[in-house]
Structure 1
Amino acid sequence: MARAAVIGFVVSFSQSALAGPESAAKPSYALAMHGDPALPADFTAMPYANPDAPKGGRLVEGLLGTFDSLNPFIVKGIAVQRIRGYVVESLMARGNDEPFTLYGLLAQSVETDDARSYVTFRIDPRARFSDGKPVLAEDVLFSWQLLRDKGRPNHRQYYAKVARAKALDPLTIRFDFGDVQDRELPLILGLMPIFPKHAVDAETFEETSLSPPIGSGPYRVSAVKAGASVTLTRNPDYWGRDLPVNRGLWNFDEIRIEYFREANSHFEAFKRGLYDYRVETEPLRWHDGYDFPAARDGAVIRDAVRTGLPQPTEVLVFNTRRPVFADIRVREALLQLFDFAWINHNYFFDLYTRAAGFFAGSELSAYARAADSGELKLLKPYLSRLRPDFIDGSYRLPASDASGRDRVAMRRALSLLAEAGYELDGTIMRRRDDHQPLAFEILVTTRDQERIALAFARDVKRVGIQASVRTVDAVQFDQRRISFDFDMIPNRWDQSLSPGNEQYFYWGAEAADTNGTRNYMGVKDPAVDAMIAAMIAAREHPEFVDAVRALDRVLASGFYVIPLYNIQEQWIARWNRIERPKANALTGYLPETWWARPSTQR
Structure 2
Amino acid sequence: MSWVPKRICISAFVCGLLAFSLTFAAGNDNVWAEPSYAIAMHGAPALPADFTHMPYANPGAPKGGRLVQGLLGTFDSLNPLIVRGLAVQQIRGFVVESLMTRGNDEAFTLYGLLATSVETDNARSYVTFHLNPLARFSDGQPVTSDDVLFSWALLRDKGRPNYRQYYSKVAKAEAPDPLTVRFDFGGAPDRELPLILGLMPILGRHAVDPATFEDTSMTAPVGSGPYRVGAVKPGASVTLTRNPDYWGRDLPINRGLWNFDEIRLDFYREANGQFEAFKRGLYDFRVETEPLRWHDGYDFPAARNGEVIRDTIETGMPKPFEGLVFNTRRPLFSDIRVRQALTLLFDFEWINRNYFFGLYGRSASFFAGSELSAYGRAPDERERELLKPYASHMPPDVLEGSYRLPISDGSGRDRIALRTALNLLSEAGYDLDGTVLRQRATKKPLTFEILVTTRDQERIALAFTRDLKRAGIEASVRAVDAVQFDQRRLSFDFDMIQNRWDQSLSPGNEQYFYWGSEAADNQGTRNYMGAKDPAIDAMIAAMLAAREHPAFVSAVRALDRTLISGFYAIPLFNIREQWIARWNRIERPKATALTGYLPETWWYRQVPPGDPK
- Normalised by the length of structure 2, the TM-score is 0.95
Q: Which amino acid aligns with 2:277?
A: A
DSSP-derived class of the 1:486 partner: coil
> Which of 506, 520, 535 in structure 2 is aligned with 1:512?
520
C-alpha offsets along residues 196-253 of structure 1, whole Å, 9 cap, x if unaligned? Answer: 0111001111001101110000000011111111010000000000000000000000
* In 2, Cα distance between equivalents of 1:79 and 1:591: 20
Q: Does 1:526 align with 2:534?
A: yes
Equivalent position of 1:325 in the other structure: 333
CA-CA distance at 1:23 after TM superposition: 5.6
In 2, the alpha carbon distance for the partners of 1:106 and 1:179 equals 27
Q: Is the 1:341–1:401 contact (alpha carbons within 8 Å) kept by the matching residues of 2?
A: yes
1:400 to partner: Cα distance:
0.4
Q: Secondary structure at the match of 2:360?
A: coil
2:285 is equivalent to residue 277 of structure 1: yes
Q: Deviations over 1:555-584 (max 9, x none)?
A: 101110000011111111100000000010
Aligned residue for 1:45? 53
CA distance in 2, matches of 1:306, 1:517: 29
Cα distance in 1 between the residues matched to 2:482 and 2:240 = 24
Structure 1 residue 22, shift from structure 2 partner: 3.6
The alpha carbon displacement at 1:540 in A equals 0.5
2:508 and 2:19 mapped to 1: Cα distance? 33
The residue aligned with 1:365 is 373
* 1:478 and 2:478 are equivalent in the alignment: no
Aligned partners of 1:384 and 1:391: how far apart in 2?
10
Contact 2:84 2:215 in 1 (8 A): yes
Residue type of the alignment partner of 1:399: I
Tell me, in whole angstroms, the C-alpha distance in 2 between the residues paired with 1:22 and 1:525. 34
User: What corresponds to 1:422 in structure 2?
Assistant: 430
- Match of 1:562, SS state, is strand
Q: Which residue of 2 aligns with 1:26?
A: 34
Q: Secondary structure at the match of 1:179?
A: coil
Name the residue aligned to 1:491. Answer: 499
**Structure 1's 600 and 427: CA in aligned 2 closer, same or farther, altered over 3 A?**
farther
Distance 2:187 2:16 in 1: 30
**Is 1:599 aligned to residue 607 of structure 2?**
yes
1:94-121 deviation per Cα after TM superposition (whole angstroms, max 9, x unaligned): 0000000000000000001111000000
Secondary structure of the residue aligned to 1:5 is coil
Query: What is the CA–CA distance in structure 1 between the aligned matches of 2:364 and 2:141, rounded to whole Å?
Result: 51
> 2: distance between equivalents of 1:439 and 1:533?
37
CA distance in 2, matches of 1:197, 1:352: 48
* Structure 1: distance between partners of 2:98 and 2:491: 28
Which residues of 2 match residues 363-442 of structure 1 at below 5 A?
363-442=371-450
- Matched with 2:355 is 347
Other-structure match for 1:16: none
Contact 2:73 2:269 in 1 (8 A): yes
Q: What is the 5 A alignment of 1:82-97?
A: 82-97=90-105
Q: Which residue of 1 aligns with 2:3?
A: none
Q: Is the contact between residue 32 and residue 120 of structure 2 (CA under 8 Å) also seen in structure 1?
A: no
CA positional deviation for 1:324: 1.1
Instruction: Give the unaligned 5+ runs of structure 1.
Output: 13-19
The aligned residue for residue 4 of structure 2 is: none
Describe the superposition over 1:253-304 as per-residue Cα deviations: whole angstroms up to 9, x where unpaired.
0001111111111111100000000111111011011111111111000111
Aligned to 1:110: 118
Aligned amino acid, residue 208 of structure 1:
T
Letter in 2 for 1:142: F
| Partner residue in 2 for 1:4 | 9
Question: Which whole-Å deviations, capped at 9, do the CAs of 1:283-338 have from their partners, x for residues lacking one?
Answer: 10110111111111110001111100000111000000011111000000000000
Distance 1:155 1:8, change over 3 A: farther
Residue 152 in structure 1 maps to residue 157 in structure 2: no
Aligned-pair identity in percent equals 76
Alpha carbons 1:69, 1:210 under 8 Å: kept: yes
Any gaps of 5 or more consecutive residues in structure 2?
Answer: 1-6, 21-27
Runs of 4+ in structure 1 over 6 Å off? none
Q: Deviations over 1:120-177 (max 9, x none)?
A: 0000000000000100000000000000000000000000000100001010000001
Q: Does the CA contact (< 8 Å) of 1:9 and 1:109 recur in 2?
A: no
* Deviation at residue 402 of structure 1 after TM alignment: 0.3
Q: Given that residues 19 and 117 in structure 2 are in contact (C-alpha distance below 8 angstroms), is that contact kept between their aligned partners in structure 1?
A: no
1:451 aligned onto 2:459: yes
- Amino acid aligned to 2:327: N
Equivalent pair of 1:9/1:27 in contact (CA under 8 Å): no
Give the alignment partner of residue 248 of structure 2, picking from 240, 249, 262: 240
User: How far did 1:24 drift?
Assistant: 3.3
> SS where residue 215 of structure 2 aligns?
coil
Can you list the C-alpha shifts for 1:469-494, whole angstroms capped at 9, x where unaligned? 11111111111111111100001110
Cα distance in structure 2, aligned partners of 1:349 and 1:360: 21
Q: How many angstroms apart in 1 are the aligned matches of 2:386 and 2:68?
A: 48
Matched, 1:571 2:579: yes
Aligned partners of 2:19, 2:475: CA distance in 1, in Å?
Answer: 66
The answer to whether the 8 Å contact 2:29/2:122 transfers is no
Number of aligned residue pairs: 594
SS in 1 for 2:9: helix
The corresponding residue for 2:24 is none
Distance 1:8 1:490, change over 3 A: farther
Alignment of 1:263 onto 2:268: no
Question: Could you tell me how far apart the structure 1 residues matched to 2:194 and 2:472 are?
Answer: 53
Find the partner of 2:469 among 455, 461, 475.
461
Alignment partner of 1:299 out of 281, 293, 307:
307
Partner-residue secondary structure (3-state), 2:165: helix
What secondary structure sits across from 1:4 in the alignment?
A: coil
